Amino acid sequence: MKIALIGYGKMGKAIEEVAISRGHEITHRISSSNPIHTIDLSDSDVAIEFTKPDLAIEHIHHCINKEIPIIVGTTAWQEKLAEVCEFVNSNNGALLHASNFSIGVNIFFELNKTLARLMSNHPEYKIEAEEIHHVQKLDAPSGTAVSLLNDILNENINYSDWQLVSDFNEANTNKIPVIAKREPDVPGTHEIIYSSEIDTITIKHVAHNRKGFALGAVLAAEFLYGKCGVFTMSDVLKI
């Protein structure tokens, strides 16, 4: 498969390494110095996009208009998701988006939803969330953390929203407090905590490097090739 990389930072380079190891070819390495509107994508089977929130929708539109399926790992643009899905579907395009492409994280998502559902009948447990990413991470909380928090809200009736805080004690009683830390060379850590006077239940995912995200993105590209519609990693992993 011939893959165009939209964004050639650390993630783009990690995806390139995994893609080549799986027998794929990288056709283009698109960046700020090599922008997408200067590239002829007709030689590409699929595009994988990891850039910035203010660029993601433009890249999606460009690829769909050029009939190139696109995998999007950029986060913090999803408030426009309904509009984007309508555009993709009305143009018979193909989009696969995810807040996190790691297989482990997507399994973690399912564990999080199950635990939230089980704990909904136990309001004595206070929910807290913490995430840690590298200092280059622009959005806080991360897209992965937002997905985890929203999944909890869908399953647990005791909270109405989540709230970004610097200390857990700052949060309103009906909002889940989330702390977002930025530290050097941290690929990603996410922890969900349920605490009561009696005990504490914690689930946690720690990424050791970017290989898991890169592999998931390439698996998503292999899945999306030849399809039309809008998909997520749940479709890829059959969760």
Interior CA angle at 99 toward 93 and 102, to 5°?
A: 105
For the entire predicted model, the pTM comes to: 0.87
**Is residue 222 over pLDDT 90?**
yes
- CA 112, CA 192: separation in Å to the nearest integer? 8
Question: What does the pLDDT average to over 71-82?
Answer: 94
Active site residue 10: no
Res. 137 pLDDT band, cuts 50 70 90: confident
Dihedral sign for Cα atoms in the order 218, 15, 231, 161? positive
Let me know: does 41 contact 64? Beta carbons within 8 Å: no
Let me know: does 133 contact 90? Beta carbons within 8 Å: no
Catalytic position from the list 137, 175, 190, 205: 137
Q: What is the mean pLDDT of the chain?
A: 95
Contacts of 130 (CB under 8 A, 6+ apart): 178, 179, 180, 181, 189, 190, 191, 193
Res. 127 pLDDT band, cuts 50 70 90: very high
User: Which tokens hold the place of 185?
Assistant: 């060379």
The pLDDT score that the predictor gives to residue 193 is 98
Calculated CA dihedral for residues 57, 90, 71, 77, nearest 10 degrees: 30
**Is residue 111 over pLDDT 90?**
yes
Q: Tell me the C-alpha to C-alpha distance, in Å, between residue 137 and each of 25, 141, 143, 194, 217.
A: 28, 9, 10, 26, 18
Let me know: does 143 contact 76? Beta carbons within 8 Å: yes
pLDDT, tens digit, for every residue of 5-33? 999 999 999 999 999 999 999 999 999 99
DSSP three-state, residue 233? helix
Catalytic position from the list 133, 175, 190, 205: 133
The pLDDT score that the predictor gives to residue 172 is 81
Active site residue 137: yes
Question: What does the pLDDT average to over 73-89?
Answer: 95
Closest CA to 88 of 103, 73, 66: 66
Let me know: does 144 contact 109? Beta carbons within 8 Å: no
DSSP three-state, residue 158? coil
* Domains, the chain, with CATH or none: 2-101+211-237 (3.40.50.720), 103-206 (3.30.360.10)
